[in-house]
Amino acid sequence: MKSADLSAVAVTLDLAQAMRLEDRRKSAAIAYLLLLFFGLLGAHRFYLGHVGSATALLLLTLASLALIPFHVGWGLAWLPPLWLLTDLFLVPAMVARHNAELTQVALP
């Protein structure tokens, strides 16, 4: 192969890697929409890869809803909205951290 062909292959591989990286990046706008509509289910945290805390938020929401008819869930019912309120401020940092980790992994 000629050196021009090799450089074209290298550029193609770099472009493909850049496209894969761009596909895996997360958007703060999507994270905020998920928080707004499905926040109590932890959808924004699942989207950003925080599976453990998303599961905890989901279980906390379900437990408080299940226990409200027994007048026990009211003590837990304030925790998920408070968590969402703090996540309103944490989403940009979570998105930036996720995208920075992608970039570091992609670089040799």
pLDDT at 14 > cutoff 90: no
pLDDT at 16 > cutoff 50: yes
User: Which is it for the CA torsion 66, 68, 74, 75, positive or negative?
Assistant: negative
Spell out where 1-108 has E strands: none
Which helix H or strand E contains 46, and what residues bound it? helix 43-47
pLDDT recorded at residue 106 = 63
User: Which is it for the CA torsion 36, 39, 41, 43, positive or negative?
Assistant: positive
Block residue for tokens 């550029």? 11
**Can you tell me the mean pLDDT for 84-106?**
91
Cβ atoms within 10 Å, residue 82: 9
* pLDDT tens profile 28-49: 999 999 999 999 999 999 999 9
pLDDT recorded at residue 50 = 96
